[in-house]
Amino acid sequence: MDVLIVGAGSMGTWFGDVVDARVSFADLDRDAAAAAADSIGGAVADLKSETTYDVVCLAVPMTHVADAIAEQADRAERAIVDVSGVMEPAIAAMERHGPDLERVSLHPLFAPDRAPGSIAVVRNRSGPVTDDLLASLESRGNALLETTAIEHDEAMESVQAAAHAAVLSFALAAESVPAGFETPIYQGLRRLTEQVTGGTPRVYADIQEAFDGADAVADAAAEIAAADADELESLYREAAAGWQEQRGEGRDSDTGGDTE
C-alpha cells in the first residue's frame, strides 16, 4: 500500500510511522518533508503533482484541512483520511471531493510523543484499505473510539476548547507566590499550565477557532466573580452534582472535601 501524507509535522510523522505501508511526505516546507521521511524511512513527494497513491492522509492544521482535501483528493486512488482533529469540516470535504473513495477521519487524543493512546474514529465510508490502516493502528497498541463527526466536535468544545481556555486563563491571572505556599490544587494547575504553555501556540489558537467553549468558561468565571457567599455555594453544588452525574456516581456532594 502506498500512502501520501500531506503535512510533515509531528502528527503526520507519527501516522507514517505506525501504518504498515510505503509512505511519502509532502509539505510546503520541503526540508520538513525530508526530515519526516528520513525519520521513518519514507520518501519525499511534491506537494503539487499528478502522482497518485492508494491513500492520501491529510495531516495539516485543522483550519486548513477542508482546503487541503479539495486540493489533494484527486491523488487518492482508493482512500482518503485525515488526522487534523476536527471532523465535521473534514468529512464534508471528503464527501464532496472523494465521493467514490473510502473515507475515514481520525483524531489521536494524545500528543505523538505520548503514543499509543485512544484514537477517535469516524468511518464515513469504510472498506478494505481503511480497515487495514485501522488494524495497523490497533496493532501498535492504540484503542479505537468509534464516534460520529458531530459527537466528536461537540465533545471537543469541552475536552479541548474549554479545558485549554480554563488553563490559559489561570496562567494569565495567577500571581507568583512565595515558595511553600503551594496547595495540591495550585500545584496541579501549575503542572497543567506548564504542559499547555510548553506546546505550539498556533495549535491552541486553531482549536479555539475551530470549537466553541471558551465563552462558556468566561461566562462561568464572571458568574463566580459576581456571586455572593450563598450564590457561590449554590454554584459549587451545581458543579459538584454535574461532575458526579458525568461519572455516574450520584453521591451526596456534601461530604466534606473542602480542604486541600
> Is residue 220 domain-shared with residue 117, that is, in the same domain?
no
> Is residue 210 domain-shared with residue 194, that is, in the same domain?
yes
Mean pLDDT of 21-38: 97
63 in a domain, yes or no? yes
Partnered with residue 121 across adjacent β-strands are 106, 146
Counted domains in the chain: 2
CA contacts within 13 A on the Cβ side of 97: 21
Predicted confidence (pLDDT) at residue 258 exceeds the cutoff of 70: no
Predicted confidence (pLDDT) at residue 156 exceeds the cutoff of 50: yes
> Is residue 130 domain-shared with residue 165, that is, in the same domain?
no
195 in a domain, yes or no? yes
The grid coordinates listed for 228 are 455572593
> Is residue 61 domain-shared with residue 163, that is, in the same domain?
no
256 in a domain, yes or no? no
18 in a domain, yes or no? yes
> Is residue 139 domain-shared with residue 13, that is, in the same domain?
yes
Residue after which a domain boundary falls, among 129, 147, 165: 147
Q: Who's near 72: CB < 8 A, 6+ residues apart?
A: 4, 6, 56, 58, 80
259 in a domain, yes or no? no
Query: Distance between the two ends of the chain, CA-based, in angstroms?
Result: 55
> Is residue 157 domain-shared with residue 82, that is, in the same domain?
no
- Beta strand pairing status for 118-125 and 102-108? antiparallel
Mean pLDDT of 112-116: 91
> Is residue 106 domain-shared with residue 8, that is, in the same domain?
yes
> Is residue 61 domain-shared with residue 32, that is, in the same domain?
yes
123 in a domain, yes or no? yes
Mean pLDDT of 56-72: 97
The grid coordinates listed for 166 are 480554563
Q: 168-200, pLDDT tens digit by residue?
A: 999 999 998 999 999 999 999 999 999 999 989
Residue after which a domain boundary falls, among 127, 147, 167: 147
Q: 124-152, pLDDT tens digit by residue?
A: 999 999 999 999 999 999 999 999 999 99
Q: 208-256, pLDDT tens digit by residue?
A: 999 999 999 999 999 999 999 999 999 999 999 998 888 775 444 343 3
Residues 223 and 212: their CA atoms lie apart, in Å, by 19
Q: What is the DSSP letter of 27?
A: -
Predicted confidence (pLDDT) at residue 18 exceeds the cutoff of 60: yes
pLDDT for res 249: 55
252 in a domain, yes or no? no
Instruction: Name the residue among 80, 68, 75 with its Cα closest to residue 130.
Output: 80
Give the containing element (helix H, strand E) for 108.
strand 102-108
> Is residue 87 domain-shared with residue 116, that is, in the same domain?
yes
User: Between helices 65-72 and 88-97, what is the axis angle to 10°?
Assistant: 20
Mean pLDDT of 15-20: 95
255 in a domain, yes or no? no
Can you give the CATH number for the domain in which 117 is found?
3.40.50.720
Domain span at 126: 2-147
User: Between helices 163-173 and 201-210, what is the axis angle to 10°?
Assistant: 130
> Is residue 142 domain-shared with residue 69, that is, in the same domain?
yes
> Is residue 62 domain-shared with residue 163, that is, in the same domain?
no
Mean confidence (pLDDT) of the chain: 93
Percent of the chain scored above 70 by pLDDT?
95
Residue after which a domain boundary falls, among 147, 180, 213: 147
Residues 227 and 259: their CA atoms lie apart, in Å, by 21
> Is residue 156 domain-shared with residue 126, that is, in the same domain?
no
Q: 0.85 cut: is pTM over it?
A: yes
